[in-house]
């Protein structure tokens, strides 16, 4: 019988981590049994990011666990790393759009993330588009980068009732940070002619202020639905005429995959769409307001085109599950351990 390899994973779900990072880490923790008997995945974790516990207690726990390999699933990791490790880089948006962030963020990527990435046995990214970024911003040898697309829970592929609403709506799921470029989406929506009556439903807090007055026209409404759980998220996807995703860049873009799994049309910035989903989305160039408007209008004007895109999205989603993701991550562990 083959010997089981012991691999530690930084299992912390911290305030600093994005929703996608938490889903990524939780998906691996939930599927530890899928990795057996080859891999014994051992959760480790103490402290918030940038804390003394992260820098002292986490390395001590890893050392005491007597593992052969560690997986750091985010860029938040201790400075002391005595056990060989693999590192996930979800995206390098902080480097691509440094103007959106404080100077200390750029320093952290230069002083901590880049050296850690160069010393990692493998770098794991969610899409081919991130390989070049790892070389450009972190100085990583691209031969050590492995692409493992993210996945969905199979529940997203099951029928779900749509919410009861007054009129059709477009949906945006995500945070409101600058690189998400919500102004382009809202301007494109506002430019729709009278009679094209879509409300705009967005997740998160209503932090739009006077943007309501700027963008709400012809009785259409901008509605913030707050933080919602997975069940309500599925319902919001199912009821939407389309998911609109204007982000200037994404490492993967999990919400696009989830929407496609439900059977919802996806309109997205071309630079945000990962390779496995490219054939299923209608895209527009970054910050192209008029292209957003045309794409939304095409929902009614080009039904056959959209039928084909939706079918392509469902096919892609049926293949990109978290189970498949976990097995491919395990294959990266095995590659490193064998070498």
CA distance 160 to 236: 10
- Residues whose CB falls within 8 Å of the CB of residue 335, separated by 6 or more in sequence, listed in order: 122, 146
**pTM of the prediction?**
0.94
Q: Is 1's pLDDT higher than 70?
A: no
**pLDDT band at 166, cuts 50/70/90?**
confident
112-117 long-range contacts, CB within 8 A, separation 24+: 112/75, 112/77, 112/79, 113/75, 113/89, 113/138, 114/138, 114/139, 116/72, 116/75, 116/77, 116/81, 116/87, 117/87, 117/89
pLDDT digit string, tens, across residues 276-324: 999 999 999 999 999 999 999 999 989 999 999 999 999 999 999 999 9
In percent, the amount of the chain with pLDDT more than 70 equals 99
CA distance 9 to 134: 22
* 309 neighbors 317 (Cβ within 8 angstroms): no
CA distance 198 to 168: 5
Residue 123, beta-bridge partner list: 87, 145
CA distance 57 to 39: 24
Phi, psi of 44 (to 5 degrees): -130, 155
Q: Per-residue pLDDT averaged across 246-250, rounded?
A: 97
**How is residue 221 written in tokens?**
């409404």
CA distance 133 to 91: 8
* 203 neighbors 223 (Cβ within 8 angstroms): no
CATH tag for 5-151+321-338 (out of 3.30.1370.60, 3.30.465.10, 3.40.50.2000, 3.30.43.10): 3.40.50.2000
pLDDT of amino acid 324? 96
pLDDT digit string, tens, across residues 255-264: 999 999 999 9
pLDDT of amino acid 211? 87
pLDDT of amino acid 2? 60
In which order are the strands placed within the sheet that holds 169-172? 222-224, 199-202, 169-172, 242-245, 266-269, 282-284
The domain locations on the chain are 5-151+321-338, 154-319
Question: What fold does the segment set 154-319 form as a domain?
Answer: Rossmann fold (3.40.50)
Q: Is 4's pLDDT higher than 90?
A: no
CA distance 297 to 108: 43
DSSP state of 10: E
pLDDT of amino acid 84? 98
* 164 neighbors 187 (Cβ within 8 angstroms): no
Q: Per-residue pLDDT averaged across 114-128, rounded?
A: 98
Q: Is 3's pLDDT higher than 80?
A: no
Q: Per-residue pLDDT averaged across 189-205, rounded?
A: 96
Dihedral angle, C-alpha 162, 166, 167, 172, nearest 10 °: -60
Q: Is 169's pLDDT higher than 50?
A: yes
Q: Is 99's pLDDT higher than 90?
A: yes
Q: Do domains 5-151+321-338 and 154-319 have the same CATH topology?
A: yes
Round the average pLDDT of the chain to a whole number and report it: 95
pLDDT digit string, tens, across residues 6-51: 999 999 999 999 999 999 999 999 999 988 889 999 999 988 999 9
Label the pairing between strands 199-202 and 266-269: unpaired
């Amino acid at each position: 019988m083959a010997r089981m390899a012991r691999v530690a994973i930084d299992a912390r779900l911290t305030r600093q981590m994005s929703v996608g990072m938490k889903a990524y880490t939780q998906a691996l923790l939930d599927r530890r049994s899928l990795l057996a008997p080859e891999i014994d995945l051992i959760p480790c974790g103490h402290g918030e990011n940038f804390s003394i516990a992260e820098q002292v207690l986490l390395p001590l726990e890893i050392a005491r666990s007597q593992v052969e390999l560690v997986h750091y699933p985010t860029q938040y990791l201790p400075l002391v790393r005595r056990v060989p490790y693999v590192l996930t880089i979800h995206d390098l948006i902080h480097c691509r759009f440094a103007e959106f962030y404080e100077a200390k963020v750029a320093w952290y990527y230069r002083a901590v993330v880049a050296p850690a990435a160069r010393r990692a046995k493998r770098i794991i990214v969610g899409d081919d588009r991130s390989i070049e970024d790892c070389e450009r911003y972190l100085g990583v040898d691209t031969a050590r980068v492995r692409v493992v697309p993210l996945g969905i829970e199979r529940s997203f592929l099951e029928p779900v009732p749509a919410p009861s609403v007054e009129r059709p709506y477009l949906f945006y799921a995500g945070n409101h940070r600058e690189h998400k470029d919500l102004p382009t989406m809202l301007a494109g929506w506002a430019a729709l002619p009278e009679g094209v009556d879509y409300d705009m439903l967005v997740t998160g807090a209503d932090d739009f202020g006077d943007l309501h007055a700027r963008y709400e026209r012809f009785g259409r409404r901008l509605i913030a639905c707050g933080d919602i759980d997975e069940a309500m998220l599925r319902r919001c996807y199912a009821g939407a005429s389309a998911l609109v995703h204007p982000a200037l860049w994404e490492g993967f873009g999990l919400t696009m995959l989830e929407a496609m799994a439900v059977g919802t049309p996806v309109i997205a910035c071309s630079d945000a769409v990962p390779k496995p989903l490219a054939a299923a989305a209608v895209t527009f160039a970054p910050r192209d307001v008029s292209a957003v408007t045309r794409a939304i209008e095409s929902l009614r004007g080009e039904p056959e085109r959209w039928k084909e895109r939706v079918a392509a999205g469902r096919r892609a989603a049926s293949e990109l599950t978290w189970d498949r993701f976990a097995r491919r991550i395990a294959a990266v562990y095995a590659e490193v351990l064998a070498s």
